[in-house]
Amino acid sequence: MAKNKTFLSVKICYFCWFGSIGCLFPYFTIHMRQLGLSVEETAIIISTLPIASVLGPPVICFVADKFGKYKLALLFSLMMTIITAIGIQMLPQSRPLYGDFNKIKFRCNTNDANLKVPKKCLDLCRQDPIKVNIRSCKCEQNSFCLVGELENFTTCYASNTNHYAELFFGPTCEVFALKLSDPNIPALHQVQCKHTCVCEINLLDSKLCDLSVKIGREANHQTTLWLYLLLRLIFTLFQSTCFNLLDASALVLTESETSKSYYGRQRFWAILASGTFSPLCGYFIDQMSEDPEYQETTNYAPAFYAFYILVAVTMFFSLFLNIETIPFGRNIFSELRLVLKTYENWLFLIALLVLGTYSGFIENFLFLFLDDLKAPKYLLGLTLTVGALTGLPFLYASKWFVENLGRINILILSFFFYFVRLYGYAIIENPWLCMPFEAMEAVTYHLMWVAASTQAAKLVPGLTATMLTITAIIHYDCGMGLGSLIGGSIMSKYGARSAFKLMGYSAIAFGVSYILFYYGARLNKSKAKEVRNQFLTSFKKVEQNGANEKRTTSEIEEKL
């Protein structure tokens, strides 16, 4: 009964913690934009976060390993994530809109062309025509995309060019014609754009729509920028620590309960939560974001509140975790150096790094590729759901896979599954065909990480948290960051399809190399052991024969 209660606490902790991550993390980037941070500032902040992931958790997990204080370290880290998340939520918007609000947005892409107007300006639809000045266009490949009435007609202008135009509305408040002041360009009707553009349009006749928006107090932008950077670094540090300590807690628990292979069943609940809470929070964010003005501010409070509640529940049930580790006085760093001196362990860590590059490349660039294939946005969300749902049975049956396939063999198998995934993405024309390859995430992520985590726990007995932290840093931080850098460089130079193919080829090359190096080393070690045993056997025989000859000589001398 006590064993079942202990495992129940682990399940609830996993479910609530990973559910809280699913509530907040998908919305961080767009929340940064709403705070007034530019794209460049957002990129700089995100690029610095791995520093906290790499440097912070090893220190905290080292203390947890040194003194056996897993539970205290976990509670402190969970509390700090709540405190820093509250700070992020309370940050003021540094660049509120003010001044001339007689603006509407014109969006042009391969699917449609539409105007996004404030609710106060819906009467614009009954005006025919409307004179506007098109300006501040942000387009792919630095081009200004127009709609055209001719088949396969596309006209692209420099994004800094202003055009005066007249908009003609249909009966359903949709733009069906746009006529530029340039007489050489005919009236444009149908959407024939190869690129996506979002343009800001100024109304030339302000009487048509008089927007009176309150000018809010503008916060100091530099203050918001640096406060956000500081809070996100602290949040990332403790969030990464919680991830590693919860994994370590589950591993320590299953080890103490003589149920090592049940580790995957604990992660079952983590994946289930990630696939459940994220769409729910998105739904409530949409329901509570009904700003009628042009600012289009989004209310992210449901995501933050759900995060606080789930983390609080995690803290409560972590009190019931039965984690017992014995403090020790061994030289931990010397033991870690011994691990790195082992050839097979080097191969294991390199394999985790390379597998992380493929995961990072897919995570950062697959959605861009599917969007080029005209995939609807709900399809992008379904890819995450498919990956989670297919991973659940594999996690639940992870005991069978680990016992029958072996941990290293699962890592090798992941390379070949990555080849199928990457090459499959490169050849599809219909975005819906990505679903079978997304289902393979059950092996390349879920089952792979169970094998990697349990293998890492075996490297140095008694240093579970530290070794799990190192493997997580190598795979999630270093590997995924390297994958984004390498994959993005290839994609920008050779295109998406070529990038997926090249990454797929490298996956199968690394998989074959791992087989050759790992089993080659084991074969050489086995042969060396056999030769050593043969040598020892021969040496003992020679030594025994020498002793027999010596004994015979002594007997003859005695008889004489």
How far is residue 418's CA from residue 437's CA, in Å, rounded to a whole number? 9
Long-range contact pairs involving 62-68 (C-beta distance under 8 Å, separation at least 24): 62/332, 62/466, 64/245, 64/248, 64/465, 65/325, 65/332, 65/462, 65/463, 65/464, 65/465, 65/466, 66/327, 66/328, 66/332, 67/327, 68/324, 68/325, 68/326, 68/327
Residues paired with 107 in a beta bridge: 114, 198
pLDDT in tens, the chain (560 residues): 455 566 777 788 888 988 898 788 777 776 777 787 775 676 677 777 778 877 777 777 777 777 777 778 888 999 999 999 999 999 887 754 433 334 445 555 444 444 444 444 444 444 445 555 554 555 544 444 443 333 333 344 433 444 445 555 444 444 445 555 555 554 544 433 444 444 555 544 444 443 333 333 345 788 888 999 999 999 989 988 888 777 766 766 665 544 555 666 666 777 778 777 877 777 787 677 654 344 456 678 888 999 999 999 999 988 887 665 534 344 445 555 666 777 778 888 899 999 988 987 887 777 767 766 876 556 666 777 788 888 878 877 888 888 888 889 999 999 999 999 999 999 998 988 989 998 998 899 889 988 988 888 777 666 666 677 778 778 887 887 777 778 777 877 788 899 899 999 999 999 999 999 888 877 766 655 554 555 456 545 555 665 555 555 555 555 55
pLDDT of residue 419: 96
Contact yes or no for 476/462 (Cβ under 8 A): no
Long-range contact pairs involving 276-284 (C-beta distance under 8 Å, separation at least 24): 276/19, 276/22, 277/19, 277/20, 277/22, 277/23, 277/306, 277/310, 278/22, 278/23, 278/26, 278/384, 279/381, 279/385, 280/306, 281/22, 281/23, 281/24, 281/27, 281/306, 282/26, 282/27
pLDDT of residue 558: 58
How far is residue 470's CA from residue 448's CA, in Å, rounded to a whole number? 16
Provide the greatest CA pair distance for the chain: 137
Quote the DSSP letter at residue 92: P
Following DSSP, what letter does each residue of 410-444 receive, concatenated? HHHHHHHHHHHHHHHHHH-SSGGGGHHHHHTHIII
pLDDT of residue 46: 72
Residues paired with 108 in a beta bridge: 113, 197
pLDDT of residue 459: 76
Q: Which of 235, 391, 243 is nearest to 314 (CA)?
A: 243
How far is residue 247's CA from residue 258's CA, in Å, rounded to a whole number? 17
Question: What domains does the chain contain, in order, with CATH numbers?
Answer: 1-94+224-328 (1.20.1250.20), 103-208 (no CATH), 335-552 (1.20.1250.20)
Q: Which of 23, 72, 77 is nearest to 52 (CA)?
A: 77
Question: What are the structure tokens assigned to 344, written together?
Answer: 């097979």
pLDDT of residue 540: 59
pLDDT of residue 151: 38
